[in-house]
Structure 1
């Protein structure tokens, strides 16, 4: 109520008293105004500001991998929260494990390899697609072997720990192919990549196909790398995977999620002294080891994704990588039916 309104009400009240006419119909307004008609009252009937929107909840599945450094930083530095997201990170033993949980709606987002994406779509009726790449391994996945095993060819008749059907299995098959060996030339024992690394460090197997941080632990313990993703660059890539049927309703949240990861990547590059210990907390590794691990991995932000996905007229290199992965999965009989490579990618968020 403004000052003019107060004067009108006061004048009406005085007129009522002068004429000795009951003005009871004014009393509620006068009482209601009495507490609010002071000099501090705001003008008009302005509404109170709307409360801030509740953060959008996202449950994100991931394995403990150096390539997800940007995700870990976005979580720890509050970038998800600042984007209006309430992100819950849920760790899994293998990158493929996230996809079963994603397909059954236990997760909103799965962080996984393109190889796992090809396998899950090639062995069932799912609608999971990659909307961005997070990183590609350039040495951070490897075959580590004990002393006396100098090359992949020396693995003939030896016991190797790896995860059947997972990305480290694909890496191993690529290495065998280059060495002129077949899978049945070695003794394979299947376990998670983390367990494979631990088994090797404990001396239980001759070799293991594992990833960081276990490669660093294995080499510190006397093992050495005989084949790695550096020999097949840009083949082992990790992605942000979602269900195609949720793209429309989750569009805004997915875009904010990618934007927050991009901030995490930029923080990693601009302030490594602050970032490396944070990443190390997730990987249970000191900062100096994290720095060494990153030498074997290429982390992608939104700018790199724009180049990787290209345009509709000139598709980027991720499409060739996806085709290579699908073809290899089919040739290695890891899938029942090879999916169309382009159907596994949705470029709408990064182009």
Structure 2
């Protein structure tokens, strides 16, 4: 089972390079050419988990902060974290953002990257769901059940923690690996008994009465979403990285003080109803700072991957998580 998961993750990282839509920031040039030092190429994912970065784009914060240091940006939307990993690995992008687990998997695959900031965290933004009429009311009832989750995603880690609390393992369930976007239909049709999934699917399914929350990450998994950058690019352009962080922090603060306006601003990017988007904001804490608690939680994810042999070699997390760019941006451990 462990070998199968590892092979899946590695294969995805190597071959999943299609299905992208690109959008360039002001004054930028083609993303396919060699990068110049004053252009930051951003690999993005249109999920509410990363709402602050989309707000930074739509509000013009990215343009403003990068202009202060004589830089511009290029923007490419991808459908998943593995696609972002592939884009960074191939030299297409300089920076990406994703959940803690796929970021660590990217590092373990040989990418010379560093985590430079948080994006958000949310214990309730990742949850175990079942159909509204299901008799499942706890993770302890998953034994023998068909449970869907994306292998290599942070949903897999939450499920592992929930099973462990019930003295169960993945050997006790029927694992179903399907993309997050296919989970709602599979759950509604009865093809699966339960699923672990993230926002906005949680809010959408619960609001429509198509699912109920059995358990979330509360007290179990902090659910960090992080930004990583190519180490060489970041070291050569610390002011650009700091400017990016400043722009995203301004956007994080905007979401906190203007959730309705922020939801309306980026709803088209997320393809989510603004009201649902507002609900998802309640389950996430947007902040670029990497607190001691954040760092410790990310390290626990690495320990899990190592223990399960999903990564073969240990990672020096103190060098992988670089707090210097946050300090450069004037953002410390809050």
What TM-score, normalized by structure 2, do the two folds share? 0.79
Distance in 1, matches of 2:164 and 2:99, equals: 21
* Structure-2 separation of matches of 1:64 and 1:142: 19
Alignment counterpart, residue 186 of structure 2, candidates 199, 206, 219? 199
SS in 2 for 1:205: coil
- Once residues 98 and 196 of structure 2 are traced to their aligned partners in structure 1, the CA distance between those partners, rounded to angstroms, is 17
SS at match of 1:230: coil
Aligned to 1:17: none
User: Contact (CA 8 Å) 1:67, 1:298: kept in 2 or not?
Assistant: no
Q: Distance in 2 between matches of 1:340 and 1:120?
A: 14
Give the total of aligned pairs.
286
Distance 1:89 1:196, change over 3 A: farther
Aligned match of 2:161: 174
* Residue 135 (1) aligns with residue 120 (2): yes
Between structure 1 and structure 2, the one with the greater Rg is: 1
Do the aligned residues in 2 keep the contact of 1:135 with 1:300 (CA within 8 Å)? yes
Matched, 1:344 2:317: no
Question: Does the residue aligned with 2:41 lie in a helix, a strand or coil?
Answer: strand
Q: Separation in 1 of the partners of 2:138 and 2:177?
A: 21
Residue of structure 2 equivalent to 1:91: 77
Matches within 5 A, 1:149-168: 149-168=136-155
Structure 2 CA distance for partners of 1:157 and 1:240, relative to 1, 3 Å: same
User: Counterparts of 2:152 and 2:259 in 1: how far apart (Å)?
Assistant: 35
Which of 111, 124, 127 is equivalent to 1:126? 111
Give the deviation of 1:189 after TM superposition.
Answer: 1.5
Which residue number in structure 2 is paired with residue 9 of structure 1?
A: none
Do the aligned partners of 2:187 and 2:195 also contact (CA within 8 Å) in 1? yes
C-alpha root-mean-square deviation of aligned residues, in Å? Answer: 2.1
Partners of 1:153 and 1:200 in 2: CA distance: 19
Distance (whole Å) between structure 2 residues aligned to residue 77 and residue 188 of structure 1: 41
**TM-score, normalisation: structure 1:** 0.76
Paired with 1:206 and 1:255, the residues of 2 have a C-alpha distance of: 45
By how many angstroms is 1:329 displaced? Answer: 1.0
Alignment partner, residue 216 of structure 1? 203
Note the alpha carbon deviations across 1:241-296, whole angstroms, 9 max, x for none: 01112222222221111111112112222322321212322222222211211121
Residue of structure 1 equivalent to 2:95: 109
8 Å CA contact 2:42–2:73 kept in 1: the answer is yes
Task: List gaps (5 residues or longer) in structure 1.
Answer: 1-52, 310-315
Give the CA deviation at 1:59: 2.6
User: CA 1:326–1:280 in structure 2 vs 1: closer, same or farther (change >3 Å)?
Assistant: same
- Aligned-partner Cα distance in 2 for 1:116–1:291: 26
Q: In the alignment, which residue of structure 2 is the partner of 1:329?
A: 305
Q: Is the 8 A contact 1:133 1:238 kept in 2?
A: yes
Within the alignment, does 1:254 sit opposite 2:241 as a pair? Answer: yes
Structure 1 stretches of at least 4 aligned residues deviating more than 6 Å after TM superposition:
none
Partner of 1:66: 48
Preserved CA contact (<8 Å) 2:101 2:152: no
Q: 2:318, 2:114 → 1: CA distance? A: 10
Partner secondary structure for residue 229 of structure 2: strand
Deviation sequence 1:84-140 (CA, Å, 0-9, x none): 254343233332331222122111111012222222223x32211110111112211
